[in-house]
């Protein structure tokens, strides 16, 4: 299936592809204008709708709630049994496998690999249907991103290699307990700064801050994102997550304080030095937190001739 079309190997896959599948969310690539049907529509009507639009499956929805999926196969069965005046509700498949809009694209690729469905409904945090995702959506988006990247590389080749960084923005989705991908943002930004001959101490500072922010989101939050903006004179890192927030910020900032569980500690995390270290290495450090999420903004200056 799609994994064979887009082979992913941790070490060999070009960074653009890795970034696309790990750093982009399903909400960015799904189609939002979803054609859905209400549960009381007849199979006959559904047949017309599918034919008109040339699609092979539709979500069945009542007030934004996804009840099931009706497919061409269900239609054929109803046709064979002479049940075309039945409501869709009677023939749809219930409890469809769904994706959530905040998931990274890598999840979707796994789903297409593991299930034999051609499309997945996408729900938001309130469990409302907000989109549909087909493997075509993934491929189209990938081609778009790669076109952009090739354009950028061609431009770069034309004008020769220069060490000015310009403006770079990188976004990374961080998934709760996903230790496998944690550290990706920091290693990529580190590589990028190295390419531009930035002072090693500053690279280390940026990598440390980003790494600790990623790990904190993996360990302590429900998931979030890290956005890195690099300009000619500074690196700005914005880490935002979806909760549950930090109860006492002063305490959290003190050395050695940690709420990490024994399980987390057994993996080598939870020394309580993350936040203090981030603060120490950064030129500006801001933090706000509530039950709905923590937002930390860090700035690391790049000296003029680094
Ligand atoms: N993004 C976050 N969401 C919720 N709590 C957090 C977050 N980041 C840090 N914390 C809280 O602050 C504490 C201190 O963080 P840190 O200094 O990185 O130490 P550690 O991660 O080793 O516990 C954590 O144990 C946790 O209680
Ligand atoms: Mg930490």
Q: Which ligand is nearest to the CA of 257?
A: 1
Q: What is the mean pLDDT of residues 205-228?
A: 94
Question: Where do the domains of the chain lie, and which CATH numbers do they carry?
Answer: 2-137 (3.10.580.10), 164-301 (3.30.565.10)
Cα of 248 vs centre of ligand 1, distance in Å, is: 10
The beta strand positions in 155-303, using DSSP E, are: 168-175, 223-230, 234-241, 284-290, 293-301
Atom of ligand 1 nearest to the CA of 270: 22
Q: In a 3-state reduction of DSSP, which class is residue 13?
A: coil
Highest mean pLDDT among 55-59, 78-82, 118-122: 78-82
Q: Which ligand is nearest to the CA of 226?
A: 1
**What pLDDT digit, counting tens, does each position of 228-241 carry?**
999 989 999 999 99
Cα of 252 vs centre of ligand 2, distance in Å, is: 9
User: What torsion, rounded to 10 degrees, do the Cα atoms 204, 205, 210, 213 define?
Assistant: 130
Q: Which of 186, 238, 246, 281 has most ligand 1 atoms within 8 Å of CB, for mutation?
A: 246
Confidence class for position 76, pLDDT limits 50, 70, 90: very high
**Tokens 């778009």 found at:** 144
Of 263, 262, 259, residue with least CA distance to 272: 259
Of 164, 137, 157, 132, residue with least CA distance to 20: 137
**What pLDDT digit, counting tens, does each position of 150-203 carry?**
887 787 677 655 567 778 999 999 999 887 788 889 989 998 998 887 888 899
Confidence class for position 135, pLDDT limits 50, 70, 90: confident
**What pLDDT digit, counting tens, does each position of 241-284 carry?**
999 999 999 999 999 999 998 877 766 678 899 999 999 999 99
Partner residues linked to 285 by β-bridges: 298
Q: Is the CB of 221 under 6 A from ligand 1?
A: yes
Q: Considering only CA atoms, which residue is closest to atom 19 of ligand 1?
A: 272
Atom of ligand 1 nearest to the CA of 245: 4
Q: Which ligand is nearest to the CA of 289?
A: 1
Pairing of strands 93-94, 65-71: antiparallel
């Amino acid at each position: 299936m799609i994994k064979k079309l887009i082979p992913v190997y941790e070490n060999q896959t070009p960074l653009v592809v890795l970034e696309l599948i790990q750093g982009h969310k399903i909400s960015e690539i799904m189609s939002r204008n979803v054609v859905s049907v209400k549960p009381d529509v007849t199979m006959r009507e559904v047949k017309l709708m599918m034919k008109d639009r040339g699609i092979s499956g539709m979500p069945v929805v009542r007030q934004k709630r996804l009840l099931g999926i009706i497919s061409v196969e269900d239609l054929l069965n109803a046709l064979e049994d002479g049940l075309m005046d039945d409501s869709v509700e009677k023939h749809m498949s219930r409890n469809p496998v769904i994706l959530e809009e905040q998931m990274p694209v890598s999840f979707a690729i796994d789903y297409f690999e593991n299930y034999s469905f051609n499309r997945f409904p996408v729900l938001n945090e309130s469990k409302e249907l907000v989109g549909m995702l087909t493997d075509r959506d993934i491929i189209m988006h990938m081609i778009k991103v790669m076109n952009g990247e090739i354009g950028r590389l061609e431009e770069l080749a034309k004008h020769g290699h220069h060490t000015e960084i310009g403006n770079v923005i990188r976004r990374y989705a961080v998934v709760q307990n996903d230790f496998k991908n944690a550290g990706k943002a920091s290693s990529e930004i580190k590589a990028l700064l190295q390419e531009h001959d930035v002072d090693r101490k500053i690279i280390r500072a940026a990598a440390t801050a980003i790494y600790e922010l990623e790990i904190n989101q993996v360990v302590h939050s429900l998931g979030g994102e890290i956005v890195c903006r690099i300009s000619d004179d500074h690196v700005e890192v914005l880490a935002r997550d979806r909760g549950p927030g930090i109860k006492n910020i002063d305490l959290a900032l003190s050395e050695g304080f940690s709420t990490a569980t024994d399980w987390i500690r057994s993996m080598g995390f939870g020394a309580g030095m993350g936040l203090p270290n981030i603060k120490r290495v950064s030129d500006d450090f801001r933090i706000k937190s509530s039950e709905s999420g923590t937002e930390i903004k860090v700035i690391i200056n790049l000296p003029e001739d680094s």
